Structure 1
């Protein structure tokens, strides 16, 4: 996967490019049962041979660096880390799932800027005991998620580590449009949501309940769908450029929770955002799962991340793209800051039905408990 030292060119793709292959391909594994048996460069060859390249990749794996087309002249860049035991567990998610999720959260960040994702660069740290097939199926997941947006893996690096660590960098093309930032929401804007929220958090809640000995079943259709949403989020990639074309003033993806990410927009823009809880959808599978584990479904909706839906602020009177839901509006801080608990000048924040929400609003890596919300529990060796 590294752009240096690979003996396999970009044209050597793995079997099956379908984004719906499900579990990845396990055939044609490199020799050696573990990555230590295969060695660094054998592992690189085993991974890169499964990764086709898209037209945006002018020079893929096999050289000192990749070359990616930048037709717009500007490149959108984002990076995320996934750490075993913190963001995923190998007994809860397959390697293919981890690959899909790792790609999705980065591709969604690019879409949230209004850009079209073009490429990923992947850093993989792994213990020597990791099965080669796990690394190969991880590559299959990366490949298939990228295929949904016409992107591909341009290169990366591998190294040894005590647990599995992924560092993913995604690139994107703005196609002539200005980037949609977080700090440009305006008073009077409509707040719209594209995609699902609360599904991944509900799936994680079910997994945690089952691990704690609850009799909750994970194989019922509704529960299984929620668990899959935790393992493989479904970001609304196409809505990023669509919302940008509709003139979105501000936008971000929901990775830390709806309230937390709306709070990021509000604080950066110096405005208050009032969320109307009656307009926020609470689907039947989430209601049923919440009843099964004894929690409030709205909590999953408001505080759960990892679905990577998109939330955007549009000018009043703008017709949002299809499948977008109106969920709130942006308030003038001069009129509402003091009443919301602010100073009335500067700052910003989020209200729910006109009131400040109590307690934490979402995920914060350095304020969470040691187990972490998204990957509760120690790594599985």
Structure 2
């Protein structure tokens, strides 16, 4: 059934928004929302997405919504903030139906349930190319939230999460990926480890730099090294899906490229004071967060990334140009 007016659309969306909690005055549908701060440090983020580009053939609208909210929550977690609430604006075409809106907001609700956050409000618009914008707010006890440009020579580089499935989509194409059940399974709904935020916050004085992996691991590594005016020397690769090793038949170049040139894995790259690396990684183990120590930060002026002493070619997902080599 088609949507006949904006008022009808808003009434439909309001069913999925969280009501006001104790001490709050403004309710869903008001001009703004108010919340009671949970900590002295408040963090916020915003991301915009084309629904078409986010909708892999095996992703339903619910999966798209879940994945999009995960991306915004990942930004907060990587800086040591627990995601608290999200405001979502959508632009849809006349072809959208009530059922499509219901599926979209069910996906947002499912992500909020998984990450323990709230859906607070948003806005509606018309667009020939449907889009979603997500603004998130989180709270942190971090004394020094890690910047992306704070890596120091001697720091140990830790990468959380699993890699490889999105690299197959990027390098080998949708047709190849669609024939691999494991790729579809791992990319249908990427997930984050919210507890990582607590660990980063607790060790914020010794986590000198951090950045989530949304536009490809090689780009995340390069950005941190370049902006910190240091070099990253890698002697190992992060965790990858076991199926990738079979897919590549053990070819190390194939494995390396599909780990480095993916995107939307939503792991985190961290540069950590070596004196605290054992304590930090023990915390990761305790929370069941997959991770790998992949290398070390070294002094240099080029801001490059090296893997086994060879410069790593850097690619990133550019929202305007697509996959781009730097």
Please state how far the C-alpha of 1:229 moved relative to its aligned partner. Answer: 2.5
Quick one: distance in 1 between partners of 2:129 and 2:42? 32
Secondary structure in 2 aligned to 1:77?
strand
Q: Residue 274 in 1 paired to residue 229 in 2?
A: no
Q: Residue 172 in 1 paired to residue 138 in 2?
A: yes
Give the 4+ runs in structure 1 shifted more than 4 A: 53-57, 203-207
Change over 3 Å in CA distance of 1:56–1:288 after alignment to 2: farther
**What does 1:15-164 align with in structure 2 at a 5 Å threshold?**
33-35=1-3, 37=4, 39-53=5-19, 58=24, 59-89=26-56, 91-164=57-130
Quick one: distance in 1 between partners of 2:22 and 2:167? 34
Segments of 5+ residues of structure 2 without an aligned counterpart are none
Aligned residue in 1 for 2:209: 250
Residue pair 2:2, 2:98 contacting (<8 A) in 1 also: yes
Aligned residue in 1 for 2:256: 298
Q: Residue 311 in 1 paired to residue 273 in 2?
A: no
Residue pair 1:236, 1:310 contacting (<8 A) in 2 also: no
Residue pair 1:56, 1:151 contacting (<8 A) in 2 also: no
Quick one: distance in 1 between partners of 2:178 and 2:93? 33
Secondary structure in 2 aligned to 1:249?
strand
Q: What CA RMSD, in Å, does the superposition of the two structures yield over aligned residues? A: 2.5
Q: Residue 228 in 1 paired to residue 174 in 2?
A: no
- With the length of structure 2 as denominator, give the TM-score of the two structures: 0.86
Q: Residue 196 in 1 paired to residue 162 in 2?
A: yes
What's the CA shift string for 1:149-195, capped at 9, x where partnerless?
Answer: 21111110011110220011111111353312111111101111111
Quick one: distance in 1 between partners of 2:163 and 2:156? 18
Quick one: distance in 2 between partners of 1:54 and 1:190? 43
Aligned residue in 1 for 2:220: 261
- Structure with more helix by fraction: 2
What's the CA shift string for 1:67-102, capped at 9, x where partnerless?
Answer: 12323233211111110333335x442110011011
**What does 1:322-341 align with in structure 2 at a 5 Å threshold?**
322=285, 323-333=290-300, 337=301
Residue pair 2:72, 2:136 contacting (<8 A) in 1 also: yes
Residue pair 1:57, 1:66 contacting (<8 A) in 2 also: no
Please state how far the C-alpha of 1:253 moved relative to its aligned partner. Answer: 0.5
Quick one: distance in 2 between partners of 1:228 and 1:61? 34
Change over 3 Å in CA distance of 1:76–1:352 after alignment to 2: same
Task: Choose from 361, 369, 378 the match for 2:315.
Answer: 361
Number of corresponding residues = 310
Residue pair 2:162, 2:238 contacting (<8 A) in 1 also: no
Residue pair 1:192, 1:325 contacting (<8 A) in 2 also: yes
Secondary structure in 2 aligned to 1:76?
strand
Secondary structure in 1 aligned to 2:87?
strand
Quick one: distance in 2 between partners of 1:57 and 1:181? 33
Residue pair 1:50, 1:140 contacting (<8 A) in 2 also: yes
Change over 3 Å in CA distance of 1:53–1:109 after alignment to 2: farther
